[in-house]
Chains A and B, each alone.
Chain A
Amino acid sequence: MSERIEVRLRELAPRVLGALVRRYGHFDACEDAVQEALLAATTQWPQSGRPDNERGWLITVASRRLTDQLRSESARRRREDVDAAMDVPFTSRAPDPADDARWGDRDDTLTLLFLCCHPILSAPSQLALTLRAVGGLTTAEIAAAFLVPETTVGQRISRAKQSIRAASAPFALPPEDEREERLRVVLHVLYLIFNEGYATSSGPHVQRADLTAEAIRLARQLHRLVPGHGEVAGLLALMLLTDAHRPARTGPDGALVPLAEQNRALWDAGLTAEGVALITKSLAETPVGPYQLQAAIAAVHNEAASAEETDWPQILALYDLLERITANPMVALNRAVAVAEVHGPAAALDVIARLEGDERISTHHRLDAARGHFLEMAGDRPAARDAFRRAARRTTSIPEQGYLEGRAARLRPG
């Protein structure tokens, strides 16, 4: 029963925040007030029962906290100044929680997403603020999810809200000519949240909010709000297709299992089916962007019943397209894996050699790991072993280090 309250509160959080900001402005103060109202609901509803109009209840409590806060902040100011700062004079009767017509029930989630992903904010601030204001997670939950101290997250959110206030960012959708670029930032933030959840999900930390589920939930909302947008659909498809692997990613001892070695019977067929349908539809309808291409590649992987049946030529063709539209050296590295499968390891090693001149990736452990993999394919065991050992020294991930040392150990002479 208490879990359903938690889920309901997360759904309601952005709607309550949107209603308040639309009425009063002061995004930063509203966000604090909504947090307090959510906390009040968490403690009171289990005891006194859930109100008939939950959203109205939260709006009432939050707006009371907000007006208290604004009044105490301007204690020296005259009462009229405080009233002028708010759209509705405080002398009128308290808002009727059941009065949805006055408060409106427009879905402000999209506006909130744009605001929380404002380009002046740093990426960690965008992530934290999005998870708080749109995702409805508490500061503690966000801190636990990212494995950082709670004070750090609190600081990031405070500073983020101050920056938004200083920039006088309006509570409205960005102007038409900026919207596409701003949407790209929103997609990137959701992608980072998903990645963070996916990367840490194999660790021993079980008490954390599920960031991958949260990212998927937010991406679904965005897809509903911006239908027919190729990259939005593409990102959601990519998340679903990637998350499908989760049951097979870790071995019984907690070690990482790479894609080629995963037990595909454990892959989530429902997520795969949904992701494949989504990307197929999206590719047919709209011009193609990087998330769609990555989703298409994931779909080809997920549709192969075994690693050996993977359609590598199709994957290579998709990577060729992806490399043309992004300048990301990691893409080039992933493409090299497909090159090895289609044209052999020597061709892949040529790609690696070219990447060594790229500062962004030349010292990255994945470059050495890929080199080791291709050298092993080519039969040069001693060189492969050296490359895996170098990669193992360069990574800071303990599971990854274990995996790379294991690859090196398999190539020990004798």
Chain B
Amino acid sequence: MKYMLLIYGNERLWSSFSQDDFQTVVAETDAHNTALARSGELVGAYGVGDQVLAKQVHIDNGVPLVTDGPYIETKEYLASFTIVDVESLDRALEIAAANPFARVGQVEVRPLMHEAAVDV
């Protein structure tokens, strides 16, 4: 069963990190993801580019319209997401708790929809 683990960031949180804190979290996250890859549970781990890099695409009267910036200006924005393939929700929650970011913020866990006829 696949789950997505989402980490949201905000300016206040990011600026409260020192450079050392940040490097530590990066190193710990790498180790965490390496362990997941070894156990076969990691499908992918992705950092999402900053809001300043975001573009919006919409078709307006048949013409593509591209604007800069996020869809909604919010204080919270998607910073990274990880997809895991695990035996149960409990295991997904365990992995979320082991994520270094869980110590300083929230890690959101959502199941991914699938094609099986019943919940598996």
Contact = CB atoms under 8 A, between A and B. Distances in A.
A397 B117 contact: yes
Interface residues of B, number: 18
A387 to B, nearest CB: 17
Interface in B65-90: 85, 87
A400 B118 contact: yes
Contacts of A124: 87
Contact of A395 (B41, B85, B87, B119): B119
Nearest to A364: B119
Contacts of A397: 113-120
Interface size class of A (residues with CB under 8 A): 20 to 34
Is chain A's interface secondary structure helix, strand, loop, or mixed overall?
Answer: helix
B119 A400 contact: yes
A414 B49 CA distance: 47
B3 to A, nearest CB: 10
B112 interface: yes
Contacts of B112: 396
Nearest to A198: B117
Contacts of A294: none
B25 interface: no
A247 interface: no
B105 interface: no
B43 interface: yes
Interface string B29-49: 000000000111101000000
Contacts of A123: 87
Contacts of B39: 152, 155
B78 to A, nearest CB: 21
Interface string B87-120: 1000000000000000000000001111111111
A203 B43 contact: no
A200 B40 contact: no
B40 A154 contact: yes
B115 A152 contact: no
A256 B119 contact: no
A207 to B, nearest CB: 14
Given A149-B43, A151-B40, A154-B40, A399 B119 contact: no
B69 to A, nearest CB: 30
A90 to B, nearest CB: 35
Among A122, A124, A152, the one with the most B-chain Cβ atoms within 10 Å of its Cβ is: A152
A36 B61 CA distance: 61
6 contacts: A124-B87, A149-B40, A152-B85, A199-B116, A201-B117, A365-B119
Interface of A: 122-124, 147-149, 151-156, 196, 198-205, 249, 256, 365, 395-401
Given A123-B87, A399-B117, 5 more contacts: A151-B40, A152-B41, A397-B117, A400-B117, A400-B118
